[in-house]
Structure formats: structure tokens, C-alpha cells
Amino acid sequence: MTMEATRYDDGTISYPGHPRSRNGAEPVGTIDLSEHTAEVVTWTTSTATPPGIREPNHLAIVEFDVGEVVEDGETSVRALVQLTDGDIETGDEVEPVYTEKLREPGAGIREPDSQDWDGYRFEPV
């Protein structure tokens, strides 16, 4: 299992990847974010969760510094992730923990075979 961000020909990086960058550039490589820690930009605890999701659901936007693995262009990339719990503050450093099922496939409206349901939760380092 990986958590792949995509690098593009114009130096931008995105997670998730897209067929083209926001400027229309082609992909040139990937970065596995599961090998990196990240910083919490903002977070929330959602108490009104949809079908197939734990309640409460702890969520954050986190930012990865990937400057060590890119030679030029952008050196950071953000992701929206689940947190293991709500004991968190903005600015905390967090690391990924593999989770087999982030959401119950088929419990909601999305077709179960149309996407992945495993991934990473993040917890303070």
C-alpha cells in the first residue's frame, strides 16, 4: 500500500494525482507520502457522519514537506486524511498508520468497486 502524490512537468505536485496538473502539465513521477511525516494545517471532529464512517470522525488537512526527494519546483503537498483520534493541535507532526478499511464499502451511495477503501490514518509522532 502506498499513498502516491504525483509530480508534473511544471514542477507542481498534487495528492491525489490527476491526468494533468492544474496548469495542464503532464505527470513525470510519483512520491510515496506514506514514507513521510506531515504537519497538521487544520483539523475537525465530525459528529454527524455519513453511512459507513466511524462516529465521531477525526479529519485533518496535513502538509508534507517532500523537499528531500524533489530537485526543483514545489517542495510540499497537502492531503486530507483521517486522524486516529481527536487528541491533536494545529502544527502537530503526524505519521501514517495503515488501515485496512477507512470506510465500509457499499454503505454509502458510492459504487463499492469504483474506488479503494483502505488507506492511512495519521497520529502524532
Partner 1 sequence: MTESDRVAVIGASMTQFGQREEWIQELLAEAGLDCLEDAGVDADEIEHLYVSNMTSGEFEGMTGVMNALAHDIGALPAYTQRVDQTSSSGGAGIYAAWQSIQSGASEMTLLVGGEKMTHRTTGEATDIIASITHPVEYTAGVTLPSFAGLTARHYLERFDAPRESLAKVASKNHRNGVDNPHAQFQKEVDVETILDSPIVADPLRLYDFCPITDGSAAMLFCPESVAQEYTDEYAIVAGVDGATDTHVVHEREDPTVMGGVVESGQGAYEMSGYGPEDVDVAELHDMFTILEFLQMEGLGFAEQGEAWELVEEGYTERDGELPVNTSGGLKSKGHPLGASGVAQGVEIYEQLVGEAGDRQVEADVGLCCNVGGFGNCVITTIMEAAR
* Cis, bond preceding 112 (omega within 30 deg of 0): no
Which position among 51, 67, 73, 112 is part of the footprint of partner 1 (CB under 8 A)?
51
Residue placing its CB nearer to partner 1 in the complex, 72 or 115: 115
Nearest distance, CB of residue 29 and partner 1, angstroms:
18
124 with 87: CB under 8 angstroms?
yes
In terms of Cβ atoms closer than 10 Å to its own Cβ (0-12, 13-18, 19+), residue 23 is exposed
- Residue 117 has what DSSP assignment? -
Of 3-42, which residues contact partner 1 (CB under 8 A)?
14-16, 22, 41-42
Residue 44 binds partner 1, judged by CB under 8 A: yes
Which position among 11, 27, 52, 124 is part of the footprint of partner 1 (CB under 8 A)?
52
